[in-house]
Structure 1
Amino acid sequence: MTPPPVTADWIATDWGTSHLRVWAMSGRSHVAQAQSDQGMARLAPGGFEAALLALVAPWLGVGTTRVVACGMVGARQGWVEAPYSAVPCAPLPKPPVRADATDPRLAVWVVPGLKQAAPADVMRGEETQIAGFLALNTGFDGVLCLPGTHTKWAQVSAGEVVSFQSFMTGELFATLAAHSVLRHSVSPDGWDDDAFADALDDALSRPERLAARLFTLRADALLNAADGRAARARLSGLLIGAELAAARPYWLGQPVAVIGEGAIAAPYVTALSRQGTAPVQADAGAMTRAGLIAAYRQIAP
């Protein structure tokens, strides 16, 4: 049986570097969703509207439908540059910025990111997840960890992002696993919990040895035919351990929540739990939608 057609009251959009995710919204609830690989990195200037319409056209009704988007769509190379707001500030301190659309059925708004002067840092998209988490967890004071290609650690107090720091851990993992000498030793999938834990503890206790420990993954494969799945887990453990060592001022003795999809967030939850922290895990998609709902309320009549 063919499901009835969906008409969106408004459309929530998470537009990153590599992916585009959209939700047809009815008030605060999503009634349909879709995604594509048409992230910012794949689009030329002028291509954003067509990429959006390819997903949401079936949801558009008579008149104009508001679209609220977060992520790299607001970067300098995106649909419209949405200027950063400087921390300390609320995660959504300013209303979204209007983007030009030629199709009269669309009114597109883009959420601005956050910036930090010293040490220099920026985020786009994560501020919306933070806003969503705070909307659903009022009164939270502590630290949010947002794993991803560039993992963010954000200190949150009194409804504001006080400071944050980015780590290129996800990108380093992908680069080392696929484009370095370690590609001959690291399996493209699989896992070993014990190998992850051992490497994590090693890197946390002696992060200055990271570069040397990385090469042991290759040497162990050559000399001892070490398992590629264990090597993958060790690589993750070494990189996350070094990250946690550097981020210790953020998470040590603080309430911590990890915002991320299961497979991405799980190693961080495990790593923090081994340090005596009891992190809360929150689904990234749900936090993004909650944040976009908050942003939509800034422009809704």
Structure 2
Amino acid sequence: MSFVALDWGTTSLRGALLAEDGRVLEERSAPRGILHLDGASFAEVFEAFTLDWMAVPGRRCLIAGMAGSRQGWVEAPYCACPCGAEDIAQQVVPVVPGRIDMVPGLVDHQSGVPDVMRGEETQILGAMRLTGLREGLFVLPGTHNKWARMADGRVTGFRTFMTGEFYALLSQQSILARTLQADAPLVRQAFLDGVDRARRADSPGLLHLAFGMRALSLFDRLAPAAAASYLSGLLIGDELRAQPLQPGVPVVLVGSPTLTERYALALDSVGVPARLLDAQATWAGAHALWRARQAVG
């Protein structure tokens, strides 16, 4: 029997009707994230978004993402790492028993400070299914980037970096906003210059390098059209400094092509190959959880 999978995030709501074998039969999306309900309840938004899909008797829905957070529809407690599809499936929370289920997020306590994710766990499971890999480093670029470590088909741990949010803050609200063109297309060399400068062993640190952009602009050494790429390179390069990368050992990138292509470019500059996946990973992960959910009852 086909089922409905939703990726209900902070700003957007995406859905897919999936066949029993995982094929995507239909997709849709709407700007109705958990912070954009416009006065409607979660149940009302859900019914309007899935009306025709869920009209089929006995059809069920699996929801992942921020809809399962404390600010969401129903809070689904975090599943502690290490965990795999079966562990997550066992902690799925019923929203409407027998009809709608909420996927829990993941928590990693290993550093002493909790790290959490919601929604990315489904993408990671999908990426494993699509690539056939059961171990390695899986990277999910976004507002809050996730670097997840996999072993034997389970997420053993992960770390989150606020790279995307810092880029938005610096490019829109800091003094650097006056010297860059935020919507400029990628300038490859400027981006790689930023990556290289941030990754150097003798790097003075991101805070100093960011101010250096101001000085470079004052002396006409960094054009506004290239400055956004340079800033992006600085931030991603600084992020790469903290990763256990090994030349020649590939990583898996999951996310929008705009972001994954930049990370692939940065990784290639240090000799690390990458495999790129997009939204298909979400639905592949939802199918993996659906099958695991059926197995555990």
TM-score for the superposition, normalised by structure 2: 0.89
Shift of the alpha carbon at 1:15?
1.0
5+ residue gaps, structure 1, are 1-7
Shift of the alpha carbon at 1:91?
4.7
CA distances 1:4-37 after superposition (whole Å, capped 9, x unpaired)? xxxx932111111111101122332222211111
Give the letter for the 1:118 counterpart.
Answer: Q
Q: What is the alpha-carbon root mean square deviation over aligned residues?
A: 2.2
Partner Cα separation in structure 2 for residue 292 and residue 15 of structure 1: 12
Shift of the alpha carbon at 1:253?
6.2
Partner Cα separation in structure 2 for residue 250 and residue 68 of structure 1: 34
Structure 1 residue matching 2:272: 3-state secondary structure:
coil
Aligned positions of 1:247-286 closer than 5 A = 247=243, 249=244, 254-283=249-278, 285-286=279-280
Query: Structure 1 pair 39/148, CA: closer, same or farther in 2 (3 Å)?
Result: same
1:221 to 217, 225, 235: 217
1:110 to 97, 102, 111: 102
Partner Cα separation in structure 2 for residue 22 and residue 272 of structure 1: 31
Partner Cα separation in structure 1 for residue 110 and residue 204 of structure 2: 24
For 1:210, the equivalent position in structure 2 comes to: 206
Give the letter for the 1:117 counterpart.
Answer: H
CA contact (8 A) 2:76 2:105 kept: yes
For 1:136, the equivalent position in structure 2 comes to: 130
Shift of the alpha carbon at 1:92?
5.0
Partner Cα separation in structure 1 for residue 260 and residue 291 of structure 2: 29
For 2:191, the equivalent position in structure 1 comes to: 196
Partner Cα separation in structure 2 for residue 100 and residue 208 of structure 1: 53
For 2:145, the equivalent position in structure 1 comes to: 151
Partner Cα separation in structure 1 for residue 27 and residue 133 of structure 2: 30
How many residues of Structure 1 are paired with residues of Structure 2 in the alignment?
288
Shift of the alpha carbon at 1:94?
3.0
Partner Cα separation in structure 2 for residue 253 and residue 45 of structure 1: 51
Query: Structure 1 pair 86/250, CA: closer, same or farther in 2 (3 Å)?
Result: farther
Query: Structure 1 pair 244/176, CA: closer, same or farther in 2 (3 Å)?
Result: same
CA contact (8 A) 2:199 2:237 kept: yes
CA contact (8 A) 1:207 1:245 kept: no
Query: Structure 1 pair 92/114, CA: closer, same or farther in 2 (3 Å)?
Result: farther
Shift of the alpha carbon at 1:139?
4.3
Partner Cα separation in structure 2 for residue 226 and residue 250 of structure 1: 30
CA contact (8 A) 1:17 1:40 kept: yes
Aligned positions of 1:1-301 closer than 5 A = 9-27=2-20, 28-43=22-37, 47-95=41-89, 96-100=92-96, 107-119=99-111, 120-190=114-184, 191-205=186-200, 206-224=202-220, 226-247=222-243, 249=244, 254-283=249-278, 285-300=279-294
CA contact (8 A) 2:68 2:104 kept: yes
TM-score for the superposition, normalised by structure 1: 0.88
Give the letter for the 2:3 counterpart.
Answer: W
Partner Cα separation in structure 2 for residue 128 and residue 146 of structure 1: 11
Shift of the alpha carbon at 1:117?
1.1
Give the letter for the 1:228 counterpart.
Answer: P
Give the letter for the 1:48 counterpart.
Answer: F
Partner Cα separation in structure 2 for residue 214 and residue 55 of structure 1: 43
CA distances 1:170-189 after superposition (whole Å, capped 9, x unpaired)? 11001111111111122121
Structure 1 residue matching 2:51: 3-state secondary structure:
helix
> Bigger shift: 144-153 or 222-231?
222-231
CA contact (8 A) 2:126 2:281 kept: yes
CA contact (8 A) 2:86 2:293 kept: no
Partner Cα separation in structure 2 for residue 97 and residue 298 of structure 1: 14
CA contact (8 A) 2:249 2:273 kept: no
Shift of the alpha carbon at 1:138?
3.1
